[in-house]
Amino acid sequence: MFKELPPNYRPLEESTVIDYVRSQADRLNGVFRTGEPLEAVEVGDGNLNLVFKIWAQDDPERTVVIKQALPYVRLVGESWPMPADRARIEAQALDVEYRYCPQHTPRVYYFDPEMYLIVMQNLNHHIVMRKGLIQGIKYPHFAEHIGVFLAKTLGMTSDLVLDYRTKKEEVARFINPELCKITEDLVFTEPYRKTERNAYHKEIEPQVLAFQADEALHVEMAKMKEKFMTHAQALIHGDLHTGSIMVNETETFVIDPEFAFYGPMGFDIGAVIGNLFLSYASHEVRSPDPEKRADFRRYLTDTVIDLWHVFEREFQAIWDQVDPMDMPKGYQEDYMLRVLHDTAGMGAAKMMRRIIGLAGVEDIRGIEDVEERSIAASLALNIGRALLLEREQMRTIEDLVEVATACKPTYPWTD
């Protein structure tokens, strides 16, 4: 059904990756010296791929990462085949993102089309943002960085900037049906019906069943799904949750764009905001001290507000480049408002799938005490529902935050 694997394709292992790297040393801009001792470890903790870190034994700063696509979904196994060609999409997307936003995109050394792998910069001074947020760490520059990344990568690949022919050629180059189908199923469909793959914990079932019986929620989610499937607005990352972001105090990098395709901008912005609200919900129980909880939540909601304003500011610079005859002020305002509404609706979908669906997130599913996990999950579901159903009344990002922060957990059930 998928393109055949190239004859030389083989999944790498810790025992074979070093020989592979040695055989390609001339493509690594001198990171490693010929024949020097190297070390490697497999560190992939995502749902799909193998990830290796390789470094020089006498200098761990000389290091690269190899990300290799398997011909199936790692989380599930060989029973769920998946095209390894997604590594090509990821390499192309990294190339585009680096062109428009090099300060927030890892450097790629090369893409190997025979092995479906990418060799890239090892972000060894950064951590996965989700892990930092779980610990309650604040990233003071994140809102500025991600706002710039979103505006540049989305704006510069939209019809506002690309000429009519290039845009269509780019849409074709980024056709990504199988990974889009994962999202269509796991994000927009399965959480709202009874399916084998849903993986919520049983204590939260009454709320899940209520959501699955909620006609208004179904209708609005179906609109979001249709928009995801049909609105080729810009080259989107397609999986921009806080596990796809590497951060430290001063820098931010966006990784893992294998789900990239031409879709609605709000899906990326919503992914970031939805994941910040998942963290917000998790700190209902992860931060028992009320003052610390309020302080960290203020950081999260300020980040949501600030990143949107940075996005708007940077997007304005793009509007300033385009033909003012075609793009009157009223149209610009309407465009940005539609992106805000999509952000709320898509962010809601990204939240609720992480509670109900197959692939959860550590922020919530990592809460050991089941009572506490239920409280956080219940709050996340209620924020998601409110963002979805109330999105069209929102005029500003502050409205969005007000809707989310007015929510409370329904758990423990009172009747």
- What spatial distance separates the first Cα and last Cα of the chain, rounded to whole Å? 50
User: Closer CB to ligand SR1, residue 191 or residue 409?
Assistant: 191
CB of 226 to Mg ion, least distance (A): 24
Give the footprint of ligand SR1 on residues 43-62 (CB under 6 A): 46-48
Of the candidate residues 97, 190, 220, 239, the single one contacting ligand SR1 (CB under 6 A): 239
Which stretch, 38-46, 87-95, 160-168, 180-188, contacts Mg ion (CB under 5 A)? 38-46
User: Which of 236, 359, 377, 388: binder of ligand SR1 (CB under 6 A)?
Assistant: 359
Q: How many residues does the chain have?
A: 415
Binding residues for ligand SR1 restricted to 291-350, rule: CB under 6 A: none
**Out of Mg ion, ligand SR1, none, which partner does residue 186 contact, by CB within 5 to 8 A per kind?**
ligand SR1
Contact region for Mg ion (CB under 5 A) — 46-54, 69-77, 245-253, 396-404?
46-54
Spatial CA neighbour of 204 closest among 50, 413, 15 = 413
* Residue 387 interacts with which of ligand SR1, Mg ion, none, CB < 5 to 8 Å by class: none
| Partner whose footprint covers residue 65, from Mg ion, ligand SR1, none (CB < 5 to 8 Å by kind) | none
Pairing, β 234-236 against β 77-81: unpaired
- Report the alpha-carbon distance of residue 97 to residue 92 in Å, rounded: 9
Listed residue (175, 28, 2) closest to 109, CA to CA:
28
Q: Which of 112, 256, 284, 363 binds Mg ion (CB under 5 A)?
A: 256
Report the half-sphere exposure of 62 (CA within 13 A, side-chain side).
16
213 burial type by CB count under 10 A (0-12 exposed, 13-18 middle, 19+ buried):
exposed
DSSP state of 101: -
Question: Which residues, in sequence order, are CB contacts of 188 under 8 Å at separation 6+?
Answer: 221, 222, 224, 225, 228, 349, 353
Query: According to DSSP H, which parts of 156-191 are helical?
Result: 164-173, 177-183
> What count of Cα atoms within 13 Å lies in the side-chain half-sphere of residue 244?
22
Secondary structure of residue 60 in the 3-state scheme: strand
- Binding window for ligand SR1 (CB under 6 A); candidates: 41-49, 109-117, 273-281, 386-394: 41-49
Neighbours of 22 (CB within 10 A): 14
From Mg ion, ligand SR1, none, interface partner of 359 (C-beta below 5 to 8 A by class): ligand SR1
Give whichever of 73 and 260 is closer to ligand SR1, judged by the CB atom.
73
* Chosen residue from 38, 46, 151, 278 binding Mg ion by CB under 5 A: 46
CA 385, 391, 394, 397 dihedral sign is: positive
Question: How far is the CA of 247 from the CAs of 6, 130, 133, 228, in angstroms?
Answer: 35, 10, 10, 28
Residue 182 site contact among Mg ion, ligand SR1, none (CB < 5 to 8 Å, cut-off depends on kind): ligand SR1
Q: Which stretch binds ligand SR1 (CB under 6 A): 19-27, 153-161, 182-190, 207-215?
A: 182-190
Contact (CB, 8 A) for 408 and 386: no
Q: Give the SS3 label for residue 248.
A: coil
Q: Which of residues 68-87 bind ligand SR1 (CB under 6 A)?
A: 73, 75
189 binds, among ligand SR1, Mg ion, none (CB under 5 to 8 A by kind): none
Q: Kindly state whether residue 364 participates in binding ligand SR1, applying the rule CB under 6 A.
A: no
**Total residues contacting ligand SR1 (rule CB under 6 A)?**
10
As measured in angstroms, the least distance from the Cβ of 73 to ligand SR1 is 5
Residue numbers of the site for ligand SR1 (CB under 6 A)? 46-48, 73, 75, 182-183, 186, 239, 359
